[in-house]
Copies of this chain bind each other. A is one copy, B any other.
Amino acid sequence: MKLAVDAVVFSVNDARLRILLIKRKNQPFIGRYALPGGFVEQDEGLDIAVIRELTEETGVKDIFLKQLKTYGDVGRDPRGRVISVAYLALISWEHKLKASSDALRAEWFDIGKIPSLAFDHKTIIDDALVQLRLEIQTTNISCQILPQKFTLTQMQHLYESILERKLDKRNFRKKLRELDILKETREAFMDGAHRPAMLYEFRNKAYSDIKDKVHVMLK
C-alpha cells in the first residue's frame, strides 16, 4: 500500500481560471496529463510532501495549500493499491514556474479545456472546483490567487470564472467596500485605450472567513 499526494493547482491569468497539469513520462498513462504529485516519503508529513512535489515538478514556490479529500478506491491505480491525498493549491500568476529542471512538463490549461487525464484525476479536479466555489464565497481565499496588487475588475473576473456566472459590477464593488478587506494603493494600472484602473491589495493576506459568517458573494 502506497501513499501519494496530488495537488490541484489553480491560478488566474487574463480573466481565465487555469490549472496546472503534468505530462506523464512513465507508465502507467505515459504521455497523458495528470495532476502534479507523487509518493509520500516514510518520515515526511503530508503537507511537506505536497510542497516538495510541487517544487520538484513545477518550480513553483509560495503556494497556498488546503487538504481536499483522500481517494482510496481499490482500482484507482493500475500499479496496485495507492491512496492519494488531494490538495487544493492556489498561486498567483506572478510567481508561477521559475522553470526548474523537471518543470518543463508542467503546463497551464484553461479550466474547461482540460484534456483527458490519468487515474481518477478528473474527479479530483471536479471536487476541487466545488470546494473552490464554496471557499471563494465564504472566505478571503482569493487573496491567494490574485497578484499582490490587482484591479477590482481582475478580481471580479476571477470570481466570475470560478463561479461560472456574471456578477454585477456595482454590487460586487459595494460588497467589497462593506467587507473592508481591501485597501487602495495609490497606483494606477493601464492596459489599453481607456481610463486607468486603481490597484488594490488585501489588508490582510491571511486566509480567514469573511465576517465569521456563512456569506455569499452575489450577482
User: Is A137 an interface position by the 8 A CB rule?
Assistant: yes
Does A72 lie within 8 Å of B46, measured CB to CB? Answer: yes
User: Is A100 an interface position by the 8 A CB rule?
Assistant: no
Does B3 lie within 8 Å of A43, measured CB to CB? Answer: no
User: Is A140 an interface position by the 8 A CB rule?
Assistant: no
Total contacting residues, chain A, CB less than 8 A? 25
Contacts of A215 in B (CB 8 A): 214
12 contacts between A and B (CB under 8 A): A1-B3, A3-B83, A40-B72, A43-B74, A45-B73, A45-B74, A46-B70, A72-B85, A83-B83, A134-B214, A138-B214, A214-B214
Contacts of A67 in B (CB 8 A): 69-70
User: Is A194 an interface position by the 8 A CB rule?
Assistant: no
Contacts of A83 in B (CB 8 A): 3, 46, 83, 85
User: Is A176 an interface position by the 8 A CB rule?
Assistant: no
Does A70 lie within 8 Å of B85, measured CB to CB? Answer: yes
CB 8 Å contact bits of A114-153 with B (1 = contact, 0 = none): 0000000000000000000010011000000000000000
Count copies of this chain in the complex. 2
User: Is A165 an interface position by the 8 A CB rule?
Assistant: no
- Residue of A42, A73, A74, A138 most packed against chain B (CB within 10 A): A74
User: Given the interface contacts A45-B74, A81-B43, does A213 sit within 8 Å of B214 by beta carbon?
Assistant: no
Contacts of A30 in B (CB 8 A): none
Does A74 lie within 8 Å of B214, measured CB to CB? Answer: no
A189-219 interface with B by 8 A CB criterion: 213-216
User: Is A168 an interface position by the 8 A CB rule?
Assistant: no
Nearest to A84 among chain B residues (CB) is: B70
CA distance A216 to B40 in the complex (A): 39
Contacts of A43 in B (CB 8 A): 74, 81
CA distance A84 to B43 in the complex (A): 15
A62-94 interface with B by 8 A CB criterion: 67, 69-70, 72-74, 81, 83, 85
Closest CB of chain B to A12's CB: distance in Å?
22
CA distance A168 to B81 in the complex (A): 51
User: Is A44 an interface position by the 8 A CB rule?
Assistant: yes
